[in-house]
Amino acid sequence: MAYVIIGNGIASLGAIDGIRKYDRNTPITVIGAENTAAYGKPLTSYLLAGRISPERLSMRPDDYYKGKNVNLKLATYINKIDLEARELRTSEGEQIQFEKLLLATGGKPYVPQVNGLEGEGVYNFTAAKDAYRLIESVKDLKRAVVIGGGLIGLKAAESLYNRGVEVAVVESDQRILPLAYDGEAAALIAKRVEEAGMLVRCGVSGKNIVRDKSGKLRGILLEDKSFLEADAIVIAIGVVSNTELAEQAGIRVDKGIVVDDNMFTGKDGIYAAGDVAQARDVIFDKDKVVPVWSNAYTQGYYAGRNMAGNESKYPGTMSMSSISFFGLPTISVGEVNPDPDNSEYEIYTFFDERKQSYRKLVFKKDQLVGYVLVGDIDFAGMYTSFIKFKFKVDAITRKRLSQGEPDVLMWPDEFFNKAWNPDSK
């Protein structure tokens, strides 16, 4: 057993693809705590909303693992990683030897400081099983309170709303989407969400869960002494890196498992990727845990390549999210909330209230480093190209980018020719 991967999410799939690009034969063992093959985590809200069926959650065809010579062990936990003996001990009492090991254990739900969370009627929203639990009880739900006004919380709230539940969202920050979006975009999205009929409470935290004598949930008391009635409380604040196993094994952990540009932990043959890893962020130029789906695969992919002996440098994390709220599409990429006092930044914004269209471009010196789009998102990829390829932006290009509708003809000629029209061999 040469390759062992702990975790069965998108980073794990990336690692399988990365390994198999260079090593077709050596068996891979994947150990997953959940009882299904890797599925689209962001699809969980679509499942809860009733927009897709459970069969559509799966990320790969049924024969994928077999075709890649992967031995998939599901519903299995790892009790211990023994670095010296180079083996794992599973919850099933099995011992599994490894030569190369990938830790792709993802994140675990962040638990807020609210009294009385134990007991019926309180749900997490990070895994498919949480959605199944909610779907089962949704017909009996009249009101729900979602704790967390970030991407996951709002999506969970929207899904419950689509199921006919009255929903309130509680966010401790002064506005919704405090991390991924800027204030203007958040205000537009909040307006859309409230117009749809949801209650949004910002700048306040939950304090006590209130139950009746029989233990049935009645609602939640907030810090400002207001009370929200609820038959269900959904905790959807986000995740923190699931680093326990790594810590026990003596692998270096900061906010997440610390890795170098090869996704290597520094311990012989041990790599980490995905929400559990603290990897390089290209825009902020420092190591960060960025629990974003789109980066996890790539981290896994590069970890896999390196595990298979092909030394390859991870291109770096770029925070990005694309998500629609009640039909309003929004995209946010890179650095969107720069320090207002830093004169290196220049910000351009455009807002058309009638069209519900908002655009913000963040330039740092002569480069585009971030953008937010609400409504008109069709040219997003072109803005991404300017960030990704680090094109120098002169005054004319800056003006044209700011006007919207950027295209490939705005690229430097040489780059265009290389990308789109390379010489024939």
Under rule CB under 8 A, residue 6 binds other proteins = no
CB-nearer residue toward other proteins: 93 or 422: 422
Q: Which residues pair with 111 in a beta bridge?
A: none
Please state, as a whole number, how many other Cβ atoms lie within 10 Å of the Cβ of residue 2: 18
407 binds other proteins (CB under 8 A): yes
Q: How far apart are CA 111 and CA 239, in angstroms?
A: 9
Size of the site for other proteins (CB under 8 A): 47
CB of 145 to other proteins, least distance (A): 26
At closest approach, how far in Å is the CB of 418 from other proteins? 12
**Pair 180, 318: CB distance under 8 Å:** no
| Residue 205 interacting with other proteins (CB under 8 A) | no
Output the smallest distance, CB 388 to other proteins, in A.
5
Secondary structure of 179-242 in the HEC alphabet?
CCCCHHHHHHHHHHHHHHCCEEEECCCEEEEEECCCCCEEEEEECCCCEEECCEEEECCCEEEC
Q: What is the DSSP string of 26-71?
A: S-EEEE-SSSSS-B-GGGHHHHHTTSS-GGGGBSS-TTHHHHTTEE
The rounded distance, in Å, linking the Cα atoms of 145 and 233 is 5
378 binds other proteins (CB under 8 A): yes
Interaction between residue 320 and other proteins (CB under 8 A): yes
Can residue 385 be called a binding residue for other proteins (CB under 8 A)?
Answer: yes
Member of 26, 34, 52, 54 binding other proteins (CB under 8 A)? 52
| Cβ neighbours of 422 (radius 10 Å) | 8
Half-sphere exposure of 79 (CA within 13 A, CB side): 8
> Does 379 participate in binding other proteins (rule CB under 8 A)?
yes
CA distances from 106 to 5, 257, 361 (A): 12, 11, 31
**Assigned token pair, 332:** 């946010």
Q: How far is the CB of 59 from other proteins (least distance, A)?
A: 5
CB of 95 to other proteins, least distance (A): 33
Binding mask 326-365 toward other proteins (x if CB under 8 A, else -) reads: ---x-x-x--------------------------------
If the CB atoms of residues 270 and 373 are measured against other proteins, the closer one turns out to be: 373
**Under the criterion CB under 8 A, does residue 46 sit at the interface with other proteins?**
yes
Residues in touch with other proteins (CB under 8 A): 10, 14, 40-43, 46, 51-52, 56, 58-60, 293-294, 297-298, 301, 320, 322-324, 329, 331, 333, 377-382, 384-385, 388-389, 406-409, 416, 419-425
